[in-house]
Amino acid sequence: MSKLYTALPLIADQAQGSYLQQPEDLRVIDRNRLSAQDEARMRYGADPLWCAQARQLLQPQRQPGRLLRLLFPPRRTPAPVRLADLDRAAAAAAELTAYVARKPLQVSLFQPYKEAARATGTMAADYLFRQEDLLWHSADILPFLHHSVRGKVSVAAYCSGICDFCRSRGISLSAQIRNFSWFRRRTRSNFRQLVRFLQQALQADIPVSFYLRDAGRLSEFKNGQWLTVVGMAVSHDRSRSDLAVLFDGELQQLSLDKWYYTALRGGAFCVFSPGTEQPAARFGSPESPQT
């Protein structure tokens, strides 16, 4: 079906669109940008490179022996930080928890402002995330994201890691996974169910984590990336939909139906909502289809 599918222009139905209430809360000051204009120094969401830097800071620094120093003299400039799937997953987790931290009685999710407005349980209205804040925030999340030797983070480990992180801060979140793999049929009925699932998730005013196991024919994205969904536009019959996602410091649009019908290996959507705590065993294998 992937070879036959052609994405049509979306005629959005305003009544069925769903967006976060305050997507501008995820604006971040990036001090590495050289432009003097404030708007040019802004970006949306966390940069995976910041998470890679935080991961490097957490690793124990071992001093090489004398023989190794002779065979491999130290570089004058440090080696560039290499991105891993763990860094992309940590960036998505940082965006999710940073947005949730603005909600009443949930400011403890963000460590630098754990004591902010304790009486009312709300963060300051003029608060703006900074690059260094999200760097250390991702460093707090990294120990909770279990990964393989190659830095691969499964969808189940991602969800259980965020729930464990929130539980460590005294906040309870429950997670739902909508998984699409080789074994799940891509029908129009299932697509409409997915659209309803995402609509209900965004109406709770919590971002949705989107794992691109396979990017399909989305040329702007690559396999294995984590994206944060902040809104969606839907047609009147729910046959087509466009997602607004955080990617590379900008708000970008992707065609959900184009991905749905062309990504053979699929992906997964992780939805978090306030509720009772659920153990990690609740989440199945990322390859097992779940409804």
Which tokens is 171 given?
Answer: 């906040």
Q: What are the tens digits of pLDDT across the range 137-170?
A: 888 898 999 887 777 888 999 999 999 999 998 8
| 130: in domain | yes
Q: Is residue 2 part of a domain?
A: no
Does residue 211 lie in a domain region? yes
Helices 155-168 and 85-100: crossing angle in degrees, nearest 10, is 40
Instruction: For residue 101, give both structure tokens.
Output: 């931290």
Q: If you count DSSP H runs as helices and E runs as strands, how many of each does the chain have, helices first?
A: 7, 10
Would residue 77 count as lying in a domain? no
Q: How many domains does the chain have?
A: 1
Of 37-41, 183-187, 196-200, 239-243, which gets the smallest average pLDDT? 37-41
- Provide the domain limits for residue 26: 14-54+82-282
Q: Span 74-97, mean pLDDT? A: 77
Mean pLDDT value of segment 210-231: 89
Encode burial over 73-111: b for 16+ CB neighbours within 10 A, e otherwise: eeeeeeeebebbbbbbbbbbbbbbbbbbbbbeebbbbbe
The whole-number pLDDT of residue 199 equals: 92
Strand order in the sheet with 42-44: 42-44, 27-29, 129-130
In a domain, 270, yes or no: yes
Q: What's the chain's average pLDDT?
A: 78
Dihedral over Cα of 188, 212, 252, 110: its sign: positive
Q: Which range in 4-13, 216-225, 263-272 is most confidently predicted, on average pLDDT?
A: 263-272
Span of 38-42, 174-178, 191-195 with lowest mean pLDDT: 38-42
Residue 123 pLDDT more than 90? Answer: no
In a domain, 122, yes or no: yes
Query: pLDDT grade, residue 71 (50/70/90)?
Result: low
Question: Is 182 among the domain residues?
Answer: yes
262: domain CATH number? 3.90.70
With respect to residue 88, please indicate whether it lies within any of the assigned structural domains.
Answer: yes
